Amino acid sequence: MPIGGVKEGLRPIVAIIQARMSSTRLPGKVMKEICGHPVLFHVVNRLRSSRLIDRIMVATTVEPSDGVIERWCGENNVECHRGSLDDVLERYYEAALKTGAATIVRITADCPLIDPEIVDTVIGKFAEGGWDHAGTEATYPDGLDTEVFSFRALEKAHQEARLASEREHVTPYIWKNKDIFRVVAVRNAVDLSYMRWTVDDERDFTLVTRIFEGFGCADRVFHMGEIVEFLDRNPEILSINSAIMRNEGYAKSLREDKTVR
């Protein structure tokens, strides 16, 4: 029987948040505080409002610097897995095995404005059946990125992906191989790709902090439409990080790509 509109065979649905302290452009960003809470708190807090996610796990690394993430998880009743620093695909696979996930929701810890309604929309699309991977298109603001995929697809990618970029960024092997995997994109009704709400450097952090402060630093989950209205009233905020290229990290990985394993 369907549970919450999702067939039992697709459960448990586990959100796995990748997080590390050693970001090159903004070290320690996931524990930098916005309105008195670390960025990671806001990601977890928002995902807890999802109607369809069954479990949330943070997947960090075995690097000593990431002990602070594991400790934060322990103090805040959040499951945590520690794995490879560079092979994030392996880290996801191990985390998914640990939870028994049938469906994985991939979220990055630098997205403190992740929208649980959009997450549920992508899960719902995936749950229509027949898909190995569903994800937001770039028509959404950068920072609302959500990917949903089956454990079977993750396992196959883990076994077969060879390029460093495929292992660092988890899902490229899946969505690049449409002859193997059934992939669907979820498009926003309005193209908001010019908006950047992720946290990758100080400019991003300043912009996102301004947004949270604009909503009174409340812990309540406000959504994409509300943020867009706020930015329409305060257009100068968007200029703070408008010069940054979208998906800069993945583009860098492609330039430096090499075969591994």
pLDDT of residue 249: 55
CA-to-CA distance for 240 and 133, rounded, in angstroms?
33
Residues 1, 107, 49, 21, CA torsion sign = positive
Closest CA to 161 of 93, 82, 100, 249: 93
Burial of 229 (0-12, 13-18, 19+ CB in 10 A): exposed
Helix (H, G, I), strand (E, B) or coil at 148: strand
CA 173 – CA 202 distance, rounded (Å): 31
Q: What is the pLDDT along the chain (261 residues), one digit of tens a residue?
A: 344 556 768 989 999 999 999 998 999 999 999 999 999 999 999 999 999 999 999 999 999 999 999 999 999 999 999 999 999 999 999 999 999 999 999 999 999 999 999 999 999 999 998 899 999 999 999 999 999 999 999 999 999 999 999 999 999 999 999 999 999 999 999 999 999 999 999 999 999 999 999 999 987 899 999 999 999 999 999 999 998 876 565 455 556 667 776
Give the H or E element holding residue 60.
strand 55-61
- Domain 10-255: which CATH number of 3.90.550.10, 2.70.98.60, 3.40.190.150, 3.20.20.100: 3.90.550.10
- Please state, in angstroms and rounded to a whole number, the distance separating the CA atoms of residues 41 and 19: 12
Q: In the chain, where are the structural domains located?
A: 10-255
- Give residue 210's identity as a one-letter amino acid code: R
The answer to whether residues 103 and 11 touch, using CB atoms and an 8 Å cutoff, is yes
